[in-house]
Amino acid sequence: MMKVYLKQPFQAEQFAGSNEMIDKYELIDAGTMLGTHHSPELYLTGSGKVDVGDWIATGVNGEHWAVTGDVFKKTYAELPVIPKNVTCSIKQYKEWNCDLGIVFDDACSGNIWKAGVGEWILEHSETFARAWLDGYVVEEEHD
């Protein structure tokens, strides 16, 4: 039987090839590993070769792993950015143990208690659904 697990949060940084990043992630020069001369190939311990444009991910326990640029784009997406008043509604509906269908139903019928939130949900339904399911980033307020 296949088991499905929740996604684990992690941070990722695109490798630019700088000495600062090489030091930060303790990348190893292939030549050093082989005891020969300096090599342009760099390796992340336990994860393999890292090229400029690849991503270095950091898990919740501080472990690092490399992900090629193509795989990263296909597999991972940044969390959606949503307005603060919409986040309040997500928190409230989840506290009430409601499901996503109830939220959309309330948005369609005008029963969302914060002004403008129902309209935002309907106009950005896919973004809202992703935020509900995967998490979100709160939009920065502008002065």
| Statement: the pTM of the whole predicted model exceeds 0.85 | no
Report the C-alpha gap between 29 and 45 in whole angstroms: 11
Which residues form the domain of 86? Answer: 81-138
Cβ contact 55:15 at 8 Å: yes
Domain count, the chain: 2
Segment 14-28, tens digit of pLDDT = 999 898 999 999 998
Whether 143 maps to a domain, the answer reads no
Whether 48 maps to a domain, the answer reads yes
Shared domain for 63 and 95, answered yes or no, is no
Report the C-alpha gap between 77 and 73 in whole angstroms: 7
Whether 102 maps to a domain, the answer reads yes
Segment 54-67, tens digit of pLDDT = 999 988 888 899 99
Provide the H-helix boundaries in 8-138. 19-24, 30-34, 69-75, 84-95, 100-109, 117-123, 125-134
Instruction: Return phi, psi of residue 102, to 5°.
Output: -65, -40
Shared domain for 66 and 26, answered yes or no, is yes
Shared domain for 63 and 111, answered yes or no, is no
